[in-house]
């Protein structure tokens, strides 16, 4: 008889809700707990939360109740803004309580530091967040107040008298920064938590996860030598869930063009995903550690051409209708990978760059330059038949997370990454 893995679903929003519904219907899993964040979901039957018959287990807002449960794995699907609101502390506690964790929100390569890593000095982080632009309400009403305080502190730091007391200012910055936007846990700390709990941690999904760490890197195995790779994702967000990132305005859509640049919150937050992708590629193709990888970002808005109503937002012509985000990975001065995301709202506002899919519905382009050939792989949705259903993206990510649960639970303790080595089985007679 196949072992049924006991699961906890952490954060049953759009993605977590789909994971919960799938797991409840699967013969491979027993859902033993669900961590919710909305008071109106507390105490509700977890089956009824996702439109299924009651199963006799109630959701809870209590982290202590979740930590006390006996479970094999936690499917971790918090909102992305939660990553700057202390989500790492929850994951550390889950790991130390003896629960494996698979996450779509982060941990694709915890060894890769970002602008918010705890290995960065508080003053470095302060300098970055003091320039952050925030639109919408994804981060809650407290963030604008916190940013105002951080900018005031930054002016003090940059004043001439303050330069003679840098160690004192660094300690002051640490207390202020970590209250406003807690720094992300280092890979070493996450690894130590895995070892203490005797469990593993893994991040996966459509991208990061399947598209680059599985598909692109497997294609790289066809080449004798790889010099540079690229990944481009184009998508129409008009059908995205209203709550994703706190709404389209939080991403910058519908805002004046001047509100979105490389210091916008969306530009900084994407580092938590794409820095990990770049580090994974650098290690897999060139055998170097995350400490050797340098990332540069360039984010710019594209004006809307048509008026679109979507996700509770109205995109007027001339406001931000598309956003192009580019994250380039360097080893020294050598460019080894470009990861680009181009999102738009409504087919009439699609931004077609020279190398983009020609479908307004979206698609992907993978390129590998090397020897003995150059490889280009494209997938483009058919504008005439595509329903624009954003659920497909979510469902693929949910499947990636649930599929990895058995192997993650059987893996040695530690942060787990994909194994691309060939594996074989005997052919059935």
Q: Is 157 within the bounds of a domain?
A: yes
Same domain membership, residue 210 and residue 135: no
Same domain membership, residue 371 and residue 245: yes
Q: pLDDT by residue (tens digit) across 370-381?
A: 999 999 999 887
3-state secondary structure of 133: strand
Q: Is 69 within the bounds of a domain?
A: yes
Same domain membership, residue 174 and residue 102: no
Q: Is 424 within the bounds of a domain?
A: no
Q: pLDDT by residue (tens digit) across 78-118?
A: 887 888 888 999 999 999 999 999 999 899 999 999 999 99
Average pLDDT over residues 260-284: 95
Closest CA to 216 of 162, 264, 278, 158: 278
Same domain membership, residue 47 and residue 83: yes
Same domain membership, residue 238 and residue 197: no
Q: Is 106 within the bounds of a domain?
A: yes
Same domain membership, residue 146 and residue 63: no
Q: pLDDT by residue (tens digit) across 198-228?
A: 999 999 999 999 999 999 999 999 999 999 9
Alpha-carbon distance of 244 to 390, in angstroms, equals 11
Helices 142-158 and 122-129, axial angle in degrees (round to 10): 120
Q: Return the bridge partners of 220, or none.
A: none
Same domain membership, residue 212 and residue 346: yes
Q: pLDDT by residue (tens digit) across 160-182?
A: 555 556 677 777 777 778 888 88
Residue 383: which pLDDT band, with cuts at 50, 70 and 90?
A: low
Same domain membership, residue 275 and residue 157: no
Same domain membership, residue 164 and residue 63: no
Q: Is 428 within the bounds of a domain?
A: no
How many independent structural domains does the chain possess?
3
Same domain membership, residue 103 and residue 67: yes
Same domain membership, residue 141 and residue 26: no
Residue 194 belongs to a domain with what CATH number? 3.40.50.720
Q: Is 330 within the bounds of a domain?
A: yes
Alpha-carbon distance of 239 to 229, in angstroms, equals 30
Same domain membership, residue 13 and residue 100: yes
Q: Is 423 within the bounds of a domain?
A: no
Considering 164, 180, 196, which residue would you say is the last residue of a domain? 180
Q: What is the DSSP string of 227-254?
A: EEEEEEEEEEGGGS-TTGGGSHHHHTTT
> pLDDT at residue 306 above 90?
yes
Which domain covers residue 159, as residue numbers?
Answer: 122-180
Q: What is the structure's pLDDT at 1?
A: 41
Helices 166-180 and 142-158, axial angle in degrees (round to 10): 170
């Amino acid at each position: 008889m196949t072992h049924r893995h006991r699961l906890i679903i952490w954060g049953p929003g759009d993605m977590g809700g789909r994971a919960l519904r799938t797991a409840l219907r699967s013969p491979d899993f027993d859902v033993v707990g669900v961590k919710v964040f909305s008071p109106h979901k507390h105490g509700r039957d977890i089956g009824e939360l996702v439109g299924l018959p009651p199963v006799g287990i109630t959701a809870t807002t209590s982290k202590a109740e979740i930590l006390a449960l006996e479970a094999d794995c936690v499917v971790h699907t918090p909102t992305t803004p939660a990553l700057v609101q202390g989500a790492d502390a929850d994951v550390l506690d889950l790991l130390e309580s003896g629960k494996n964790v698979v996450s779509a929100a982060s941990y694709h390569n915890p060894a890769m530091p970002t602008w918010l890593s705890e290995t960065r000095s508080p003053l470095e982080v302060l300098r970055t967040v003091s320039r952050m632009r925030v639109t919408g309400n994804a981060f809650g009403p407290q963030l604008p107040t916190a940013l105002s305080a951080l900018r005031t502190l930054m002016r003090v730091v940059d004043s001439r008298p303050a330069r003679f007391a840098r160690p004192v200012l660094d300690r002051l910055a640490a207390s202020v920064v970590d209250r406003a936007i807690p720094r992300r846990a280092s890979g070493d700390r996450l690894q130590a938590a895995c070892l203490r709990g005797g469990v593993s941690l893994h991040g996966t999904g459509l991208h990061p996860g399947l598209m680059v760490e599985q598909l692109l890197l497997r294609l790289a195995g066809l080449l004798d030598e790889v010099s540079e790779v690229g990944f481009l994702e184009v998508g129409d967000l008009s059908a995205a869930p209203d709550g994703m990132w706190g709404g389209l305005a939080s991403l910058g859509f519908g805002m004046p063009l001047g509100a979105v640049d490389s210091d916008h919150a969306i530009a900084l937050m994407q580092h938590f995903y794409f820095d990990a992708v770049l580090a994974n590629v650098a290690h897999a193709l060139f055998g170097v550690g995350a400490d050797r990888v340098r990332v540069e970002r360039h984010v710019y808005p594209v004006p809307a051409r048509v008026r679109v109503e979507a996700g509770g937002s109205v995109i007027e012509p001339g406001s931000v209708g598309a956003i192009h985000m580019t994250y380039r990975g360097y080893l020294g001065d050598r460019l080894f990978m470009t990861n680009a995301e181009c999102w738009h709202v409504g087919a009439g506002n699609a931004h077609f760059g020279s190398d983009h899919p020609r479908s307004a519905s979206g698609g992907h382009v993978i390129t590998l330059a090397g020897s003995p050939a150059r490889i280009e792989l494209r997938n483009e949705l058919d504008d005439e038949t595509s329903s624009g259903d954003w659920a497909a993206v979510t469902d693929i990510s949910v499947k990636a997370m649930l599929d990895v649960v058995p192997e993650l639970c059987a893996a040695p303790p530690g942060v787990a990454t994909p194994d691309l080595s060939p594996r074989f089985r005997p052919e059935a007679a």
